[in-house]
Every structure is written in structure tokens, then in C-alpha cells.
Amino acid sequence: MKNNIVLGVTGSIACYKACEIANLLAKSGFSVSVVMTKEALEFITPLTFRHITKNPVITDMFNTPDEFSPVHTSLADRADLILIAPATANIIGKIASGICDDILSATVVSSEAPVILAPAMNEKMYENKIVQENIKKLKSLGYKFVGPIKGALACGHTGIGHIADTKDIVSEAKNILSEKKKKA
């Protein structure tokens, strides 16, 4: 039986890395359901992820599904793991505050699956005290983080905030699913 991974994609230039992550996960035999925020749609289209994963891409909590199912809870129920890459300061803040105003945040809050976040943002945003408190809060609740790393940022500077290497992100997902399987 395939593990089901929900891959959350948020509005960051690092969206292109989410394509590589989806590809690596799918090639590793995982079923990948991509959930994109409306901001992510400004960077990349759902068609790319649909082609990579061979699964429908969810972009809106209020789209009419082919068969009735409250999308956010049905996704949450099926998820063995939720991986958000890239994870912006916005989604980190929403999850830390329990805000459910889009399909991704609602899915995370309604799931009991482990969650990994791979932050990607400007260095000043990442180092902001509020963002750091949100990360600290989520870590204390059992959320896992991979990165960010020091690297080239969209603003043209080099600093902390660059999304972690895709292989490291996928490796962490595999490790968590392996640990989860051992406990079952």
C-alpha cells in the first residue's frame, strides 16, 4: 500500500523546487497529492504538478468535487504525511495560529499526520522575531522543519532563508514515514 503524501506549495519563487520534490517522491513510489495556495498559482501552474504526480491538484477549498467529500478533511484523513515546500512566513504563521482560511491551512489543522515544513523566504523575514516564535511554537508541537539554508535569495542577496536541498527534504519525508511505519 502506497503512502499518501500531501505536498503543500505556497507562494514563493522556490515553487520550482516543489516540482523536483514531487518528482522525487513520485519516483520513490509515493502517492503525492499537491495542494497549492492561491499565491503559489502566481509562480507555477497546477498542470505541471498533475503531470508529475498523475493526481489531481487541489487549489481551492470551494471547488465542486466529482463526488461529495469535504476536501480539506478527506485530504487530511488520507494523508500519511504533510510536507509543505516551500513554506512561507505566511503559512507558518497561519498554522501556528490555527487559521484555516485556505485549503492548505485547513488540511494541516484537520490532520493528525506528521507535518514537515521547508521554509523559504527573505533572510529578514526568516529572522523576524514573530516568525521565529511561530517556528518555535510549531516545533514544540511536534512539527518538523528542514532548513532553510544560507544561499541565494530572490532579492539578490545571499543569506539564511534559501529552501533546503530537495534531496534533504525528501530524505526527511522518507525517514518520518519509515519511523511511523515502525511504530504501527
Residue 136 identity: K
Secondary structure string (H, E, C) spanning 114-163: CEEEEECCCHHHHHCHHHHHHHHHHHHCCCEECCCEEEECCCCCEEEEEC
- The catalytic residue among 15, 19, 100, 155 is 155
Task: Classify residue 64 as exposed, middle or buried by CB count within 10 Å of its CB (0-12, 13-18, 19+).
Answer: exposed
Question: Is 19 one of the catalytic residues?
Answer: no
Mind telling me the catalytic residues?
155
